[in-house]
A and B are shown apart, each in its own frame.
Chain A
């Protein structure tokens, strides 16, 4: 009886020791995945060097119509709807192409993905245009500080 247990302990020792590094890696991976897990599809930037601002918020963004405000152009659902430079300098408060696209989509919920360096004069016009189009819910998308 004594030998049975002593042999068992002697054999399981190396087995457990061999598995420990693997279990450690799995645990680290699991924690990293759970921390960054998101049901959102990967971001497909409309422009090269497109960078979202960083936020301390951690709420999950919605899957609504996306308006991208890059340093080169404004895009509604991936389609270009204006030049950023032009509309930054323009005195107009609304962006007609964005307004038309929003009217055509008939949505009342949009998410605005603005480049972190985009001037507020431009982003504000996009938001005003969305408001004019009857959009009730607007979300500003950012990168959460919970990201790895």
Chain B
């Protein structure tokens, strides 16, 4: 019994194991680098508007929400249902709020979202000379703010 435990085991050479892993890495690395695209693309679903007024969505107090560019930033146009107890759908009061940059725009949209959390749609009206990257940044800002989701359904109005 004593000899059994004292028996010398053949020395285990790890070099073949390491070599096989290195060989696998040498095969995998070029294959991976060739087949992997470092650019991950994403699709932004958009709705298209013909310039007609918004349809009434849901039962919330905000019946229309439109953002357009102005010379000094953005103008948020909100159609809020009249607070009169006899007011019906479509009986709205138009309000305009200005925002200097995208951060301020998100603050304004956050406040409107608190007013009507059920509304998910917003209409953006880019200027004719706006670039696609500016519009995409604008869409990103309207979809999600620092405090969570804002308006995931973005409708773009064609440039006039």
Partner of A127, one of B127, B128, B129, B158: B158
Q: In whole Å, how far is A65's beta carbon from the nearest beta carbon of chain B?
A: 13
Are B14 and A143 in contact (CB-based, < 8 A)?
no
For the complex, is B56 an interface residue (Cβ under 8 Å from A)? Answer: no
Q: What residue in chain B is nearest A22 (Cβ atoms)? A: B21
The reply to whether B132 and A11 contact each other, CB–CB distance below 8 Å, is no
With contacts A120-B126, A138-B48 known, is A144 near B132, CB below 8 A?
no
- Residues 115-134 of B, flagged 1 when their CB comes within 8 A of A and 0 if not, give 00000000000111111111
Q: Which of A25-33, A72-80, A98-106 contacts B (4 or more CB under 8 A)?
A: A25-33
Interface size on A, residues (CB 8 A): 62
Interface status of B36 (Cβ within 8 A of chain A): yes
Query: In the bound complex, how far is the Cα of B45 from the Cα of A138, in angstroms?
Result: 6
- Shortest 7 CB-CB contacts between residues of A and residues of B: A61-B43, A53-B133, A121-B128, A139-B43, A116-B133, A144-B42, A15-B14
Q: How far is the CA of A15 from the CA of B13 in the complex (A)?
A: 9
Interface mask (B16-27 → A, CB under 8 Å = 1, otherwise 0): 011001100100
Question: Which residues in window 32-48 of A have CB below 8 A to B?
Answer: 32-33, 35-38, 40, 42-43
Task: Report whether A147 and B133 are in contact in the complex, using a CB–CB cutoff of 8 Å.
Answer: no
Q: Report whether A43 and B39 are in contact in the complex, using a CB–CB cutoff of 8 Å.
A: yes
16 additional A-B residue pairs with CB within 8 Å, beyond A15-B12, A120-B130? A7-B9, A18-B14, A37-B40, A43-B37, A52-B39, A53-B133, A55-B44, A58-B40, A60-B43, A115-B132, A120-B129, A120-B131, A131-B50, A138-B45, A138-B46, A138-B48
